[in-house]
């Protein structure tokens, strides 16, 4: 079985450092800077529609299989906010008026469909990394998006489990549940938060996968 989680936080809060520790993972880097960790990764640089993203990921999965003789257990999208920004820039140049927003919605749905019905459906877990910003009206941390997708809750709306890395206290803290931050978990008996040095992301992901296996037994 596979799972899908969101890892979010401010810039330079340790998101990439944390997710680089995931075992048997392939990182798809959408940030403008080169990926700096010695783990299997690919740097995506030229956005030409969502199909170009999907094709790129599929090609890199094949390359991973050729090199390591097995498929990756995890795909890390780092960061989905940079991918989303590239998408909206591309669509604002290619289209005009309402068609821009319509295409943004279509591309977002296509990406989420690929994650859920191709990667997840074929046993590949997905870790979505995202930047956050503070919403002035609610004073809550949100993940930037546009249109109906933003109103629905952005990338938090497509996952059941989400981690938030907070650093304003001077030390990095991983939140499992929070009203202020985009953090929630389906696992029981977890604290609201834990210091990042005490957090093992591989152990956490294994628990999520095992919990999903148990839930699958009750599907009719």
Cα–Cα distance, 123 to 27 (Å, whole number): 16
CATH code of the domain containing 135: 3.40.50
pLDDT tens profile 94-123: 999 999 999 999 999 999 999 999 999 999
Cα–Cα distance, 220 to 210 (Å, whole number): 19
Q: Domain span at residue 8?
A: 4-218
Written as six digits, the tokens of 61 are 């999965």
If one counts the domains in the chain, the total is 1
Q: Is 61 helix (H, G, I), strand (E, B) or coil?
A: helix
Question: Hey, which residues does 131 pair with through a beta bridge?
Answer: 9
According to the model, what pLDDT value does residue 115 have? 98
pLDDT tens profile 56-100: 999 999 999 999 999 999 999 999 999 999 999 999 999 999 999
* Measured CA distances, 21 to 5, 12, 78 (Å): 15, 16, 13
pLDDT tens profile 135-192: 888 888 899 898 888 888 899 999 999 999 998 778 999 999 999 999 999 999 999 9
* CB-CB contact of 130 with 145 (8 Å): no
Lowest mean pLDDT among 9-23, 165-179, 206-220: 206-220
Residue with tokens 């990042």: 196
More confident residue, 202 or 168: 202
Written as six digits, the tokens of 171 are 């030390």
Instruction: Report the predicted TM-score, pTM, of the whole model to 2 decimal places.
Output: 0.94
According to the model, what pLDDT value does residue 140 have? 86
Q: What share of the chain is helix, strand, coil (3-state, %, to 5)?
A: 40, 20, 35
């Amino acid at each position: 079985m596979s799972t899908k989680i969101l890892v979010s936080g401010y810039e330079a809060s340790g998101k990439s450092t944390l997710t680089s520790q995931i075992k048997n993972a392939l990182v798809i880097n959408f940030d403008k800077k080169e990926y700096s960790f010695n783990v299997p990764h690919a740097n995506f640089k030229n956005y030409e529609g969502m199909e170009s993203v999907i094709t790129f990921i599929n090609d890199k999965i094949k390359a991973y299989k050729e090199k390591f003789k097995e498929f990756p257990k995890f795909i890390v999208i780092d960061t989905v906010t940079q991918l989303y920004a590239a998408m909206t820039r591309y669509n604002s140049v290619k289209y005009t008026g309402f068609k821009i927003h319509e295409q943004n919605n279509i591309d977002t749905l296509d990406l989420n469909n690929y994650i859920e019905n191709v990667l997840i459906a074929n046993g590949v877990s997905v870790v979505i990394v995202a930047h956050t910003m503070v919403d002035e009206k609610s004073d809550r941390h949100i993940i930037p998006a546009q249109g109906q997708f933003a109103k629905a809750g952005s990338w938090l709306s497509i996952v059941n489990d989400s981690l938030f890395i907070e650093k304003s206290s001077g030390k990095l803290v991983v939140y499992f549940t929070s009203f202020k931050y985009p953090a929630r978990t389906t696992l029981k008996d977890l604290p609201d938060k834990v210091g990042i040095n005490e957090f093992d992301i591989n152990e956490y992901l294994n628990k999520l996968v095992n919990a999903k296996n148990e839930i699958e037994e009750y599907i009719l």
